[in-house]
Chains A and B, each alone.
Chain A
């Protein structure tokens, strides 16, 4: 509102609120100031949000690591207590009392086949500890054997290939961690701890910093706007530069604070190890001897790592996000700064009624048709599969790789293992050729049969026309997936009626879907059956609208029936038939159900059309990126066809006119 007021008043030479200089700056300058503030705030805000998310992700990783230290401490307490005996249970209970997050702890001795100590309710229900393990507790024994085996394997191989600590995620986010317990240098069992994730809290950066970084370019532009009255474009350019610099600086600062957070976390880990060592030595003197090895991964490899390396993943995420965010806020700046936002708003206000009516449909279309469309195009430049759906595009970006693979592969004929030659049915050009053949054959059949029937039904004085017409439309009325499944049944090798019919005429039954040619014949028959009524109805409608006088006049002039057909009937059918043909070409080209349900591409994808192939790539091979590229190519083909067809109809229209 404020801005609009200035804009309106700006038209007049005398401004109502003159700044110090006594004259209002041109409105565009104001606009740039507002634009840079908004763009910077949104950009920095989004970056801040990404940063906070990165901190959270790092915190989760650290929680698991901290829980591991606790479990290792418990194991060393048990080791110091000699891994068995009455006092062990008391020691473990005392140890647990020192930890608020630990819910239960148990020590299992594999050599004795016993549970030496436990505060697990399920263990105590079965009897006092220490006691021998019972049959239902065999999994614990197995776990102990597995850990012992792993550690022996690692020791003999001299590496740490196998896991030496077993971590299990339980319900409600609890962790169940088993660490080995030793006696006289040999593994005899394990200590298992059920614990809530240990929170290693690192203070999340204050949003104030984001605001500060965002305000900097705004202040500069504001100052400039008082000095600078003209040169709107230059001002926009300066604003854009400042914005990018500010966002870049904020990004650097954000990465820095992330590493700072990691350093802080390392200090806390060191402290935690100290504290655990203290507890351990109080409960069982000597248990703290190996405390410096506790901060380790599941292979018991020490984890005192470089803080910068620890947050590598998060750092990359922020850097990647920063590019996107910069582009977004730059676009916003230009959109507002160059006045496009203004014009858009004016149009919106002026025509708001129209936009109200359109809004629901438009929002639906934008969210569920156009957004997915552009998302699909973006997807086509990535190597996304089922297994990396959650990774950001920046990490799986492959550029034109998919397109190169699809369009650059010309091996339509491949050499088989036996040295023979065979068509490569997986090849894009083969499928394209097949799709075109399929479309042409089907449309030709549809038009021929449809037109032929229409001509017969249009015979003057023919009785029962209405009944024939209704019965002949039936194939079109039946939902096409049902048609497809019916024909699939009729083409059955053993029980299908079509093979019975062939047998009556002395032929041998055909395995329809085991050879490309017969398979093609089967799908064409199915599609021909359901597509001729449309052409028949269209032709019939057009035929009925031809005036009988024309034929009368032609007969008077002595024209033959054939001449009448070519000179009157065909030209009169053209305006109705051409759109119908155009439409049925697109329908047949995209006739998914028939191919998918009748032949399913058998044999060996040889009767696949482009669209079923794309579907199978996505939902049977789960190559989302590759399938998206495939679909984009199909769209390009259809678009070219659409433009071409548009030109053609226009040309024919102008000739007709």
Chain B
């Protein structure tokens, strides 16, 4: 018994060498854009090039130019993007909008998810289906009317409230389906016994179901936060004023059009992306199961 695993491991190690070689190369390639961003961010310059090539570059020069290591290591891009540029303000905008989106979206989705899971009522199927179909609306389809309604009628352009409302409603269908799925797995008997003891449905929902569903609520909340944090095009359409930009718009501002502030962009990207990348790593397994489960049902 003790011999066998050792033998397979030894054999495995030898035959795995080509696999490792392939995987290492592929991983380096896959991570190259990320390394590149780090290089530019720590270069202390705004240039898009890692090094400036001479007039007639040799291959050695060129290889140096694609090696993701800056000529001089400096954190000046990080300090100046936060102090000289209005990037801190943009991050604050993003944080406020995403946090409010999360609160509004999750509160709405908890109630709706619970009702869809527990009650049988006229319009239940239609409601569930319409939430699903709404996911199919192309963004631009509601974008034009929303622009007319929110900006031209209600004057909510370049305001937190307008963006929060839009993000919350875009996040709701996914959150509702996700939470409904989780509520379905909580045994009904718990609630029935509480009902026997004379608890109201409101109380049951608040003190039995919600505490049990905490993990799902947390995951849903984090997803809606990421929706708001990572969203680009709605923000670009609704936020005209530079002081009201969200972080994604700010990053585009640095390198969009004729602007070429790649140092600021790279440093800003790292600041903005690190929290979501870390979150994502923790959440991706829920995301995959939630998404594919939804797709099978749909």
Contacts and interface: CB of A to CB of B under 8 A. Distances in A.
A642 interface: yes
Given A361-B111, A468-B23, A649-B296, A347 B121 contact: yes
A365 B134 contact: yes
B156 to A, nearest CB: 11
A426 B131 CA distance: 33
A373 B137 contact: yes
A353 to B, nearest CB: 6
Interface string A454-478: 0011011111100010111111111
B141 A504 contact: no
A479 B31 contact: no
Contacts of A461: 8-9, 12, 16
A475 B230 CA distance: 14
B165 interface: yes
Given A362-B127, A538-B292, A501 B12 contact: no
Interface in B255-293: 255, 262, 265, 269, 272-273, 276-277, 280-281, 284-285, 288, 291-292
A478 B273 CA distance: 6
Interface string B1-37: 0000000110011001001101100110011011011
Interface string B111-138: 1101110110111100100110110111
A486 B144 contact: no
A609 to B, nearest CB: 11
Given A372-B146, A497-B50, A628-B145, A634 B138 contact: yes
A136 interface: no
Contacts of A476: 280, 284
A633 to B, nearest CB: 9
A226 to B, nearest CB: 35
A389 B201 CA distance: 47
B108 interface: yes
Contact of A357 (B12, B112, B168, B276): B112
A496 B295 CA distance: 39
Nearest to A343: B122
B96 interface: no
A346 to B, nearest CB: 10
B129 to A, nearest CB: 11
Contacts of A496: 48
B104 to A, nearest CB: 8
Contact of A368 (B37, B122, B165): B165
B76 to A, nearest CB: 19
A527 interface: no
A279 B246 CA distance: 62
Contacts of A165: none
Contacts of A462: 12, 16, 19-20
Contact of A362 (B40, B112, B146): B112
A373 B141 contact: yes
**What is the size category of the interface that chain B forms with chain A?**
35 or more
Contacts of A347: 121-123
B48 to A, nearest CB: 4
A641 to B, nearest CB: 9
Contacts of A642: 133, 136, 298
A285 interface: no
B22 A495 contact: no
A628 B140 CA distance: 8
A489 B265 CA distance: 11
A281 interface: no
B143 A580 contact: no
B100 interface: no
A540 B116 CA distance: 32
B19 A537 contact: no
B244 interface: no
B252 interface: yes
Interface string A347-361: 100010111111111
Q: Do most interface residues of chain A lie in helix, strand or loop, or is the interface mixed?
A: helix
B228 to A, nearest CB: 12
A313 interface: no
A364 B121 contact: no
B284 A477 contact: yes
A134 interface: no
Contacts of B30: 471-472, 474-475, 529
B131 A631 contact: no
A468 B12 CA distance: 17
Contacts of A191: none
A579 B230 CA distance: 24
Given A353-B119, A368-B165, A495-B47, A479 B144 contact: no
B298 A372 contact: no
Contacts of A375: 145, 148-149
A627 interface: yes
Residue among A373, A456, A475, A486 with max Cβ neighbours from chain B (10 Å): A486
B65 interface: yes
Contact of A495 (B49, B145, B237): B49
A6 to B, nearest CB: 24
Interface string B214-233: 00000000000000011011
A193 B178 CA distance: 68
A609 B142 CA distance: 17
A357 B131 CA distance: 15
A27 interface: no
Residue among B26, B144, B145, B165 with max Cβ neighbours from chain A (10 Å): B144
Nearest to A467: B27
B48 A372 contact: no
A638 B136 contact: yes
B252 A597 contact: yes
Interface string B59-84: 10011011000000000000000000
A473 B255 contact: no
Contact of A473 (B146, B265, B281): B281
B149 A486 contact: no
Interface in A166-224: none
A474 B121 contact: no
Given A368-B169, A631-B144, A471 B108 contact: no
Contacts of A406: none
Contacts of A485: 251-252, 255, 265, 269
A482 B172 contact: no
B48 A489 contact: yes
A456 B138 contact: no
Interface stretch (A31-39, A228-236, A249-257, A614-622): A614-622
A371 B145 CA distance: 9
A492 interface: yes
29 contacts: A351-B119, A354-B119, A361-B108, A361-B112, A361-B172, A364-B108, A364-B169, A365-B131, A368-B146, A369-B137, A370-B130, A373-B142, A376-B144, A456-B22, A457-B23, A461-B8, A462-B12, A471-B31, A473-B284, A483-B33, A488-B255, A504-B59, A537-B284, A538-B292, A576-B292, A579-B296, A590-B139, A618-B140, A634-B141
Instruction: Name the 6 nearest CB pairs between A and B, nearest first.
Output: A354-B119, A631-B141, A579-B295, A361-B112, A357-B115, A372-B145
Interface of B: 8-9, 12-13, 16, 19-20, 22-23, 26-27, 30-31, 33-34, 36-37, 40, 47-50, 53, 57, 59, 62-63, 65-66, 104, 107-109, 111-112, 114-116, 118-119, 121-124, 127, 130-131, 133-134, 136-149, 152, 165-166, 168-170, 172-173, 176, 201, 205, 229-230, 232-233, 237, 248, 251-252, 255, 262, 265, 269, 272-273, 276-277, 280-281, 284-285, 288, 291-292, 295-296, 298
Given A369-B142, A580-B295, 4 more contacts: A351-B122, A389-B148, A472-B27, A485-B255
